A and B are shown apart, each in its own frame.
Chain A
Amino acid sequence: MAVLIRRLEEPDQVELFDCGDEPLNNYLDRHAWANQQKISIGVTYVAIDEGAPRIVLGYFTLATASVPRDAFPKKYARGLPPYDLPLILLARLAVDRRFSGKGLGHALISEAFKIALRVADDVGCRCIIADVYRDRIDWYARYGFVALEGGAPSGPQRMFLDIRTLRMALKQP
């Protein structure tokens, strides 16, 4: 199987995707294309097998956001740049359960990191933020994501990864 990761295209067979989580299936099936092409609130990248290039094996969605500098507590102002803090939101990441356990999640997040670095090089970005299902926190932590404090006790956990850590990883042999 030769896996390729590219932007979602309209003819992709998103309706067949099943990661075992209805909101994630539903997002890809009903909203991902519209969000990408019509209302522009997220770009979805899909993993496909080059032998069956319309069947989606996994996907992730990215967007950018920023936090106004004056929203931060003053005691941290010195350590932050004197501008709003730009960030990339890793909004969703899912693998079809028929292909789980084959390293597709790793391939998808690796591609998301590389895109994040390119965006950071082009327009600036300080960190990646992901809202993570609680049973997946350990998986994201393995990549260096750190849980932010203060979110709702139930529901997704918001996690942080510094872009400078990604750059360090890129430079290491």
Chain B
Amino acid sequence: MVRGLKRELQLSSNTDFLSDAVALFRWAVGERKRGYRIFSEATTGERKELVLPRLERVAPELALPRVEISWTPREMESLAELASKEPGPPTETLLQAMRG
């Protein structure tokens, strides 16, 4: 398998192969540590997620604690009105935030 990969990647030395493999693994660990998921994306938009049990060990727990919020009756009505409507389109600033 290693020989096949080296051939595909046109790598002649084991050192280069190992160095690239470690760099890739290091990047993947860093991304999962920050809580990011790792995907490949086809030109059609189809996405596949890379899930390795060892990588999942370094991922931070995402669970957020639960709190109680107090609302005035008018705030509650305003929330219901907004939540029951179709969502508004993203603003340009939001688009920039999600691209970053």
Interface residues of A (CB under 8 A from B): 4-7, 40-43, 62-67, 71-73, 76, 78-80, 85, 88-89, 91, 106-107, 109-110, 113-115, 118-119, 122-123, 126-127, 129, 142-144, 146, 148-152, 158, 160, 162, 164-166, 168-170, 172
Query: Which B residues are CB-close (under 8 A) to A146?
Result: 82, 88
Residue of A43, A127, A158, A166 touching B83 (CB-CB under 8 A): A127
Task: Tell me the minimal C-beta distance from B47 to chain A in angstroms.
Answer: 11
Complex: chain B residue closest to A109, CB-CB: B97
B1 in the interface (beta carbon within 8 A): no
15 A-B pairs in the complex with CB atoms less than 8 angstroms apart: A41-B67, A63-B66, A65-B69, A73-B76, A78-B84, A80-B80, A106-B100, A144-B93, A150-B78, A151-B72, A160-B79, A162-B87, A165-B89, A168-B87, A169-B90
Beyond A144-B94, A148-B78, whether A63 also contacts B67 by CB under 8 A is yes
B5 within 8 A of A: no
Interface hits, B60-100 → A, CB 8 Å: 60, 62-69, 71-85, 87-91, 93-98, 100
Once the chains are docked, how many angstroms separate the CA of A66 from the CA of B69?
A: 8
Measured between C-beta atoms, what is the minimum distance from B36 to chain A in Å?
8
Whether B83 pairs with A62 at a CB distance below 8 angstroms is no
Q: Which residue of B lies closest to A86 (CB)?
A: B66
The docked-state distance in angstroms from the alpha carbon of A107 to that of B99 is 11
Other A-B pairs beyond A114-B98, A118-B37, A160-B83, 20, CB < 8 Å: A41-B67, A42-B65, A43-B64, A43-B65, A63-B67, A65-B69, A67-B69, A73-B80, A76-B81, A106-B100, A113-B97, A123-B63, A127-B79, A142-B93, A144-B94, A148-B79, A150-B74, A151-B72, A165-B94, A169-B95
A23 to B82, CA, bound (A): 30
Q: Is the CB of B87 within 8 A of A165?
A: yes
**Cα distance, A65 to B75, chains bound together (Å):** 15
Task: Output the nearest chain B residue to A79 by Cβ-Cβ distance.
Answer: B84
Q: Which residues of A contact B95 (CB under 8 A)?
A: 169, 172
Q: Check A165/B93 contact, CB under 8 A, given A72-B80, A126-B83, A160-B79.
A: no
Contact partner of A76 (CB less than 8 A), chosen from B64, B84, B97, is B84
Is the beta-carbon distance between B98 and A166 smaller than 8 angstroms?
yes
What's the minimum C-beta distance from B2 to chain A, rounded to whole angstroms? 33
- Greatest chain A CB density within 10 A among B68, B84, B97 is at B97
- Chain B: CB-nearest residue to A117: B98
A71 to B76, Cβ gap below 8 A?
yes
